[in-house]
Amino acid sequence: MTLTLSEAGQTVVAGTFGRAMKRAGEALGSMSGQIIDVQTPMLRRCSAADVLVMAGGPESVVLAVYVGITGSMQGHALLLFSPADAHRLAQILLAGLLGPGELPMEKSNDILNYDELELSALQEAGNVTISAFLNELGMHLHEPVQPTPPQVVIEMAGAVLDAVLLDLMSEADQVLAAKTTFSEGGRAIDGTLFVLPRPDSLRVLLDALGAIGI
């Protein structure tokens, strides 16, 4: 099922997603103890190729936290970091857990190599960030939107995203993709949050926002 979204409808969805993405950024900031800047979210109807470009190209290596969206709205959410930025974020997140006199973790020279604690911290960061987004969205829908358990993978962006695109594009040639970038100024940690709703779920959202038919 596809839904043709008018420009006005897209503006309403963009506004709601924008507020939810701000909440997501605040949640990531609160968890990491850093001030996180949230870029103005971009909402675009685009092809599979466009989504891959938005993610930095199909071969760019990312650490991705994936959370499926279920409930009254359905779709997919991914928080992506470059491997180097993911390491820096893990260091920040775990620093707060070290007791007095405890040594920091040994750093590996291989930026694709993460220990279990780092992966766990990053998975939780993705979970908290995306859950904050969904909570805000649920308030607008007046119905809960639930996350699936988070999954963390280190892979080529194309390989991570194609499973999501396959799920969304069996009956459509385009998807609606929302994206924002979180930045932590001092240490330049950039993360990208992607939200890809199922087309039929957009109707639920527009209906709840009183924007159906505009």
Q: Tell me which residues touch other proteins (CB under 8 A).
A: 47-49, 52, 57-59, 61, 66, 68, 76, 112, 151, 153-167, 169-171, 173
CA-to-CA distance for 4 and 150, rounded, in angstroms? Answer: 30
Min dist. Cβ of residue 58 to other proteins (A): 3
CA 120/CA 118 separation, integer angstroms? 5
Q: Closer CB to other proteins, residue 14 or residue 172?
A: 172
* Dihedral class, residue 33 (left if φ above 0, else alpha if ψ from -120 to 50, else beta): left
Q: Quote the least distance from Cβ 56 to other proteins, whole Å.
A: 11
Question: How far apart are alpha carbons 214 and 209 in whole angstroms?
Answer: 11
Our CB check for other proteins shows the closer of 17 and 66 to be 66
* Numbers of helices and strands, H then E, in the chain: 6, 8
Shortest Cβ distance from residue 155 to other proteins (Å)? 5
Query: In this complex, which beta carbon is closest to other proteins, that of residue 139 or of residue 156?
Result: 156
Write out 94-145 in H/E/C secondary structure.
HHCCCCCCCCCCCCCCCCCCCCHHHHHHHHHHHHHHHHHHHHHHHHHHCCCE
Q: Which is nearer to other proteins, 23 or 198 (CB)?
A: 198
Q: Which is nearer to other proteins, 36 or 48 (CB)?
A: 48
CA–CA distance from 167 to each of 23, 24, 72, 74, 79 (Å)? 27, 24, 18, 11, 18
Q: Whole-number minimum distance, CB 108 to other proteins, in Å? A: 15
Tokens of 146: 């639930």
Cβ neighbours, 10 Å, residue 213: 9
Question: Smallest gap, in angstroms, from Cβ of residue 201 to other proteins?
Answer: 13
State how far the Cα of 154 lies from the Cα of 118, in Å rounded to an integer. Answer: 12
- Residue closer to other proteins by CB (options 36, 164) is 164
